[in-house]
Amino acid sequence: MKLGIFGGTFDPPHKGHINAVVSAKESLSLDRVVVVPAYISPFKVKRKITEPSHRLEMTKLAFDTLFTDISAYEVSKGGVSYTIDTLTYFRKIYPDSAYTLILGTDAFLGFDKWYKYREIIEVASLAVVSRNSDDSEKISERADSIKNLCEVFTVKVNPISVSSTQIRENPSEYKDYLTENVYEYIEKNGLYKK
C-alpha cells in the first residue's frame, strides 16, 4: 500500500490543506492519506496554539468527506510531536507500506532542521506541495541536495492564498477558505476571539 502522511498544526485546517492532500493523492496515486494533527510542533513550542482537542475535531470536520484517515496519535501522545516518532508508529501498524511524507514548500526547505531528518528519509519519500512557480527553483535545488538519500516528488496545486494565521486573526473575513462545518465549529466554540 502507498501511504501518504500529512502532518501539521491545523490551527485551523483550511481549503489549502485539503487541496494539498487531494493533489498529492491524485498525482502520486496514493492508496490512503493519513492526516495527523500535531500536539505541539517542535517549531511552534513558544507560540500560543489552540487546544489540541479543538484542532483534532476541526481536522476531522475539514476532511470528513475525503478518502483520508485522521489520526489522533500525536494529540493522544502529548508533548512535542516529532515526525520520526509518528512514522515509527505507523510502520508498526502498516509494516509493508511505502511511505510518502507530504510537506509544504517552507517545511521542505527547512527539512534539514527537523529532528532526525535523516532517519525520516530512510523510511519515507517526500512529496513537496508547490503553491507557485516561484517555489520550483528553490524546491529543485533542495531536492538535488538530497536526491541520493530519498525520492522527492513535487506536487503542483492550484494556489489558495490564505494562511492559518490570517484565518485566526479574522475568521469571518476568511470563511470562504474554510469548510462550512469548520467555520461553524469555530463560531460555536468561540475560537480565535481577540
**pLDDT tens-digit profile, the chain (194 residues):** 999 999 999 999 999 999 999 999 999 999 999 999 999 988 776 678 999 999 999 999 999 877 889 999 999 999 999 999 999 999 999 999 999 999 998 899 999 899 999 999 999 999 999 877 677 788 888 888 887 889 999 998 887 888 899 999 999 999 999 999 999 999 999 999 86
pLDDT at 139: 85
17: alpha, beta or left? (left if phi > 0; alpha if psi -120 to 50): alpha
Instruction: Identify the domain containing residue 51 by its residue range.
Output: 2-161
Q: Is residue 114 part of a domain?
A: yes
Does this model's pTM top 0.85? My answer is yes
What is the tally of structural domains in the chain? 1
Q: Is residue 54 part of a domain?
A: yes
Domain containing residue 111: CATH number: 3.40.50.620
Contact 10, 37 (CB under 8 A): yes
Q: Is residue 11 part of a domain?
A: yes
Q: Is residue 109 part of a domain?
A: yes
**By C-alpha distance, which of 98, 162, 155, 96 is closest to 128?**
155
**By C-alpha distance, which of 81, 104, 98, 99 is closest to 19?**
104
Q: Is residue 167 part of a domain?
A: no
